[in-house]
Structure 1
Amino acid sequence: MTRPSVPAFAARPVASIAVVVGLLLTALSGRYGYHRDELYFMVAGRHLSWGYVDQPPLTPFLARLSTTVFGDTVMGLRVLSTISSVVAVIVVALIAREFGSDRRGQILAAVCAAISGFLLGVGHIVSTATYDLLAWMLIGLFAVKLLRTLDGRWWLALGLTAGIAVENKYLVVLPIGALLVSLLIVGPRSVLRSWWLPAGVAVAALFALPNVLWQFRHDWPQLTVATGISEDDGNENRIMFIPLQILQLSPFLVPVWVAGFLRLWRQLPWARSVALAYPVLCVAVLIAGGKSYYALPLLLVLVAAGCEPTLRWIDRHRPAAIVGLVLTALTSALFTLPVLPPSAVDFVIPLNKEQGEQVGWPEFVASVAGAWEQIPSGDRSTATLFVSNYGEAGAIDRYGASHGLPTAYATHMSYYDWNRPPDSNTGPVLLVEIGRTPIREQHFRNCRQIGAVDSLVSNDENGTALVLCDAPAEPWTTLWPKLRQYY
């Protein structure tokens, strides 16, 4: 059966749109500050390993690479994240091309990707989702090429991308799994009978093997983390799944991806499995209680498919289309980028809490330093600074030296493995607790609150308790395993 060819690629205009995204993200990259996760990634990058309790190694490695090459600053850290987002915009346009979109359709696909809230949000900061998005877009591109051409060699490209992406985040198995299920349901099943499929699986396994072995040797801690997150947030994730799918990409793009789904299902039978993969993926994420953004990248594939029918609507309603695109860009920027004054971030936190996670870390460390100074100077040599999560520990690692603070210890995620207080630390313990925790405080003697963090915005650290205890109740060697936190 003859498969459709593709139009020429609109390289110059698509690249121009991607460059504009890169310039915008670069211009705003240093406006607030480090995100909680970025502070963690930078420390993890100094403890390079084939795995961590809560993630594979690629994002911490790229964080270290970016700061080494481009400077140990907020802007330097985010350069590779920005580049990843720029490439993702181009790949979305290439997917539209595979679906038969001409120059105008490819440009529209690039514009829609560039102004989507999800791409701007993950592109602004360094996160595992940042590089995961690019991986998913590449997987989408190679999968569509496979289905359009029936050339089994594209399984190798899929396998290579998936294998590298597993070293960043295990979620990459979801779109491939959803696609395989969809191929079994609606076909074309012939691509599953190719010898290139096991070759692609072998390539993926080869690249994924180092982290899989690390997880095996450490009793699969990432499964423990994932299970804990699902148990804690699973019901809320299920309730908010559909609303957040709409809001996080952009409500104004809903007609585009709906048109894309219908087009693939009705007009491009060879690509029906791509359309079906999205609801299959949504069902899997809902059952697992995963976060809404786990399925968002596939919506950009549907957006790419929907640009051709959307163009016909635009030709008939040009003023309304321009207004819609402008509103999409403005609302996406408002809720995902640091365009507001830091004091006004509370306005967007209800819809995007990640904005608040980038504000107030230097002030947080200053508050901790004020509490530390309440410990008599003669007792500080045997005192311990013990914080409740990796963001707090990372912030003190970053800003604490200028305040005379010692190393901050934490049992959260991989911080547990990196450092532990010596048993000679028998003196006072300053606990930094997001909420006072009797279960934790019972391991220390005579605890009393001596202060609290007053954050500029209503983020997780606002109101964090600063609790001073006389001493640990037992040696740190004995105490440490009792305090481990997987989530």
Structure 2
Amino acid sequence: MGASPEPPRFAALPVGIVVAVQAVVLTALSGRYGFHRDELYFVAAGHRPDWGYVDNPPITPWLARASTAVFGETPSGLRVAATLLGMATVVVVALIAREFGGGRGAQLFTAIATALSAYVLVVSHMLATNSADVLLWSLIALFGLKLLRTGDGRWWLAVGAAAGVGLANKWLVLLLLSGLGIGVAVAGPRRVLRTWWLAAGVGIAVVLAAPVVVWQASHGWPMLTVAGGISDDDGGENRALFVPMQLVYLSPVLVPVWIAGLVRPWRDPAVRWARALAVAYPIVCAELLVLGGKPYYSVPLLLPLVALGADPALRWLGRGGTARRALTGVAAAVCVVVSVLTGLPVVPVSALNGPLLAVNKEPGEQVGWPGFAESVAGAWARIPATERDTAVIIAGNYGEAGALEHYGPALGLPQPYSPHMSYADWGPPPDRLVGPVLLVGGFERGSPASRLITGCRPVTKYHTAEGVDNDENGTAFSLCTLTEPWSTAWPKLRQFY
């Protein structure tokens, strides 16, 4: 089979308008609510640059460091990186629609659908590992599709480069690569596997990912420990919710579009070369079901399928009458409103409790951190002044520690410590700190931590001023005593999840 015809011209102007509007909206809303707990952690990790961290590779913390260094250590400054990643994702997915022969209309449709999908709104508003992951998956899909369409083995170099960077951000990219590899082996065109360019692409990926893999190996593969904990704790729930979440994470109105994308390569000879993509998605889903992974891990692969289904969806709309188009328009408008309400900080904080947080809890995790730090400062003031020089603040999780590290200095608080995730590597407190322990949160009864930090006397509880029911609402603060030196106690306190 010869190479497919050259794709149509890229619809730069209409796609550019979509991206410009996206940038304006995201920038205007980027300062609302405040930092997310994960963002505070990434900012803290960015201040400690390394080739890896307990629960993620280095790309996202590096982006946090770069964005805040240039634009300021504020939610708006940090989220410039997320906005740019979201804009790039829209452009790349529109280019994928072009690969399938999509003209101006299909590319514009794909760009709008991508920009307004709930998942993309969430990861473009706040900086998360998924912010870069969705772009990198889209780039791998674009380069891989160019390889399949043209048969030009040199595209393996681009696939390898994107995969190597992807592995330096999140190892979930291995699922995508396995899915596409199985797809090519099953559905072809298998000729792209019979070239030395494949080995060259693998070599590039290995070189780019090597420092990250070496760091993980030298630290006992902590990311695998964290992943195993997630599967053990949430695997059953993740499997039960997997299929329903596939229908809502982008938008329910886009489900027929990506289903059309799954079907199209088997019906349309012009895109027969793209069958590997249609095979890859169910393969990745099956892998995640076996592993107990989170349902949203497979969502980035739905975006290329939306691009593949754009042309059939537009033809279906074109064949319909006014009633069909009106009904589709109403459904699309409702879904867009729902996506915006759940994905962006557009409602007052007081309105978050209820259905919005039930659908997406992440906005709630962006509320109340300055007040949280002020409450800790109040508890710290309960320690006699003569004892504060040897006292320690121990936070129960990385979000709490990140908040205290960011907001604490202005409130007169010392450096916080936490045994959670990479904060454990950034401790322990010096052994000279033998005074009271201000414990933020708590430990499970009967755990090693509860035997090492004892005699806890409750001081107060934190409640969000807005009444938002997030993970920190109701957190208890206690004054406790350490039973052995920090240097020996710290390894026993460590928490991976």
Same fold (TM over 0.5): yes
For residue 459 of structure 2, what is the amino acid of its counterpart? I
2:345 corresponds to which residue? 338
- Aligned partner of 2:484 among 466, 474, 487: 474
Aligned partners of 2:226 and 2:496 also within 8 Å: yes
For residue 403 of structure 2, what is the amino acid of its counterpart? A
Stretches of structure 2 that go unaligned for 5 or more consecutive residues are none
Aligned partners of 1:9 and 1:97 also within 8 Å: yes
- Aligned partner of 1:296 among 295, 299, 317: 299
2:494 corresponds to which residue? 484
**1:350 paired to 2:361:** no
1:197 corresponds to which residue? 198
1:278 corresponds to which residue? 281
Aligned partners of 1:26 and 1:79 also within 8 Å: yes
Q: Distance in 2 between matches of 1:434 and 1:333?
A: 35
Aligned partners of 2:161 and 2:201 also within 8 Å: yes
RMSD: 1.3
SS of the residue 1:349 aligns to: helix
Deviations 1:429-476 (A, max 9, x none): 11111676452332123112221111231111111111111x201111
Give the alignment's TM-score, normalised by structure 2: 0.96
Deviations 1:284-305 (A, max 9, x none): 0111111111100111111001
Aligned residues: 486
Q: Distance in 2 between matches of 1:361 and 1:437?
A: 27
Aligned partners of 2:23 and 2:83 also within 8 Å: yes
Q: Distance in 2 between matches of 1:436 and 1:189?
A: 53
Aligned partners of 1:259 and 1:309 also within 8 Å: yes
Aligned partners of 1:434 and 1:463 also within 8 Å: no
Aligned partners of 1:448 and 1:467 also within 8 Å: yes
Q: What stretches of structure 1 move > 3 A for 4+ residues in a row?
A: 434-438
**1:320 paired to 2:327:** yes
- Aligned partner of 1:443 among 432, 435, 452: 452
1:453 corresponds to which residue? 462
Q: Distance in 1 between matches of 2:81 and 2:369?
A: 23
Q: Distance in 2 between matches of 1:303 and 1:344?
A: 32
Q: Distance in 1 between matches of 2:94 and 2:335?
A: 18
Aligned partners of 2:443 and 2:450 also within 8 Å: no
SS of the residue 2:172 aligns to: helix
**1:264 paired to 2:265:** yes
Aligned partners of 1:434 and 1:461 also within 8 Å: no
SS of the residue 2:249 aligns to: helix
Q: Distance in 1 between matches of 2:332 and 2:96?
A: 20
- Aligned partner of 1:465 among 470, 476, 482: 476
Q: Distance in 2 between matches of 1:70 and 1:372?
A: 32
Report the alpha carbon displacement of residue 84 of structure 1 after superposing the two structures with TM. 0.8
Give the alignment's TM-score, normalised by structure 1: 0.98
Report the alpha carbon displacement of residue 102 of structure 1 after superposing the two structures with TM. 1.1
Q: Distance in 1 between matches of 2:457 and 2:267?
A: 66
Greater alpha carbon shift after TM alignment, 108-117 vs 444-453: 444-453
Q: Distance in 2 between matches of 1:101 and 1:444?
A: 62
Aligned partners of 1:265 and 1:271 also within 8 Å: no
For residue 161 of structure 1, what is the amino acid of its counterpart? A
Q: Distance in 2 between matches of 1:89 and 1:116?
A: 11
For residue 306 of structure 2, what is the amino acid of its counterpart? V
Aligned partners of 1:115 and 1:328 also within 8 Å: no
Report the alpha carbon displacement of residue 313 of structure 1 after superposing the two structures with TM. 2.1
Q: Distance in 2 between matches of 1:66 and 1:57?
A: 14
Q: Distance in 2 between matches of 1:426 and 1:84?
A: 45
1:33 corresponds to which residue? 34
Aligned partners of 1:230 and 1:288 also within 8 Å: yes
Report the alpha carbon displacement of residue 318 of structure 1 after superposing the two structures with TM. 2.5
Report the alpha carbon displacement of residue 259 of structure 1 after superposing the two structures with TM. 1.1
